[in-house]
Structure 1
């Protein structure tokens, strides 16, 4: 059964928001401190909103705990990756490997069946994303590939946790509160003067990035309670097209013609997925 037009558009919007907050991290003069501002702001927003959300079912708590650890590691890896590699090169590797792994594991673990057209669409999206990473030398692949594994793992953990929670909104808020605290607390302990000085002059990065990451993942998690996780995961990774545009037009990175051609594969996969 095809995804509804509203659900389809919301997941695409989540992809845009995800690419945007990654661009915020890349644009900051210190990627680690920018990531800390983003995660700290998202945690603060979550804390403010939690009293108004229905508590998640206790069955989801173990999944929430596991995801908290995975998400904290993900944020560190994002910061480290962008210290060493252009966003337009690293982002495709991080996001491109996860959907096909998620699709296979969701089918094996949960028995989620997809039509042939959906598998074709997921394959096209992954092929397009991964072909954008052509030209990365081997030493540049380690961190992005590691993060791809983390992304696939927390996607499956959170999809199941959100379904068990009975309240995807509350699950998302608790996740961002818990996963957003370790890095800011560590920075206040080890780099307090630098963090405070950086926050005073770059607070807008934290605000924009915090709202972006919380909204992007909240929309994706809610969508995973309404549609097969493999389809949502693949569609969400069209964020790479938005990331490429942001890299070229905002960050002023050089984007080779090959990557623009690869974007055509992604768009083709999205079109097929819409009616799969």
Structure 2
């Protein structure tokens, strides 16, 4: 079962990087993400209705679901902001690199999960690789502002937080119901910025095909991860999902033509080594 969980996590990481690429290439991030959430809600609504059983949710369960919706909403709002000011290959590694550091610590301390010594080496290797990949060089001619890296760090904290909360939420609702709830929360959070922005019709006319695809890929990728969490421990699976960092970096280099390709590819190999170490011996 754990091998299946690994495959689900790797698939989740790939889908996540693809829809982040689409988000970066969109014109207005708030509008694009708002439409993606709307599409996702419509697509997964029948499945959600089939699995919905409100009678089985306790008051504690409702509070945990609301906490998950809040954290996902904060995440999606910050994501729109960070892709407005930063490059994919600059901010994506920082966002995804924060989670492998925080989630195992939270999983071990709060959920009483365990990592072996090699598991911790794997986590550290992933973090070191992502730190190198981030290339946080703040020379004036390269990065005059700390806004993008700090926003990316905030996104990473949100990711680590909602993963832990969602792991607990799965004790009360199915992955499909939880995913739909967070999609609704995301839609509500983005609504004000989307409706007050200029260019709703333009974004839809230019990117409607990508919006439809993004509305499917974004929740599908996270559903794969939620299913994986039901099959294995959080402390091991969450860092492995960050292989999406490698995919995202490759896309940034070869599709968006971003710089420093050699260094970032080497760093990606280091990340992969850490992921393998964590997955096999963690």
The two structures have a TM-score, normalised by structure 2, of 0.89
- Which whole-Å CA distance do the structure 1 matches of 2:129 and 2:255 have between them? 22
1:58 corresponding residue in structure 2: 57
Given that residues 30 and 193 in structure 2 are in contact (C-alpha distance below 8 angstroms), is that contact kept between their aligned partners in structure 1?
no
Q: Single out whichever of 240-249 and 28-37 deviates more from structure 2.
A: 28-37
Match of 2:40 in 1: 42
Unaligned segments of structure 2, at least 5 residues: 139-144
Q: Kindly state the Cα deviation for residue 218 of structure 1 after the two structures are TM-superposed.
A: 0.9
1:135 and 1:104 map into 2 onto residues whose CA distance is: 24
Cα distance per residue 1:30-64 (max 9 Å; x no partner): 22222222222222223243222243641432111
Q: What displacement does 1:185 show?
A: 5.9
**Equivalent residue for 2:208?**
203
Once the two structures are TM-superposed, the CA of residue 182 in structure 1 deviates from its matched residue by 3.2
Which aligned pairs between 1:14-25 and structure 2 lie closer than 5 A? 14-25=12-23
> How far did residue 186 of structure 1 move?
5.1
1:171 maps to which residue? 178
**Residue by residue, what CA displacement relative to the aligned partner does 1:62-95 show, whole Å, maximum 9, x if unpaired?**
1110111111111111111111111001011111
Taking the TM superposition and a 5 Å limit, the aligned residue runs for 1:81-230 are: 81-137=82-138, 139=146, 140-162=148-170, 164-184=171-191, 187-188=194-195, 190-191=196-197, 194-230=199-235
TM-score (norm: length of structure 1): 0.91
8 Å contact kept, 1:40–1:206: no
Question: Where does residue 74 of structure 2 map in the other structure?
Answer: 73
CA distance in 1, matches of 2:129, 2:178: 32
Distance in structure 2 (CA, Å) of the matches to 1:12 and 1:38: 22
Do 1:91 and 1:144's aligned partners in 2 also have CA atoms closer than 8 Å? yes
1:46 and 1:174 in contact (8 A); partners too: no
Q: How far apart are 1:236 and its partner, in Å?
A: 0.5
User: Over aligned residue pairs, what C-alpha RMSD do you find?
Assistant: 1.9
The answer to whether the Cα contact below 8 Å between 1:34 and 1:205 also exists between their aligned partners in 2 is no
User: Given the superposition, is the C-alpha separation of residues 123 and 246 from structure 1 closer, same or farther in structure 2, using an over 3 Å criterion?
Assistant: same
Q: In structure 2, what is the equivalent of residue 11 of structure 1?
A: 9
Per the TM alignment, residue 196 of structure 1 is displaced from its structure 2 partner at its CA by 3.0
Measure the CA separation in 2 of the matches of 1:215 and 1:136: 35
| 1:155-195 Cα shifts (integer Å, max 9, x gaps) | 11111111x1252222222222333333246523x24x621
Shift of 1:108: 1.0
Matched residue SS, 2:134: coil
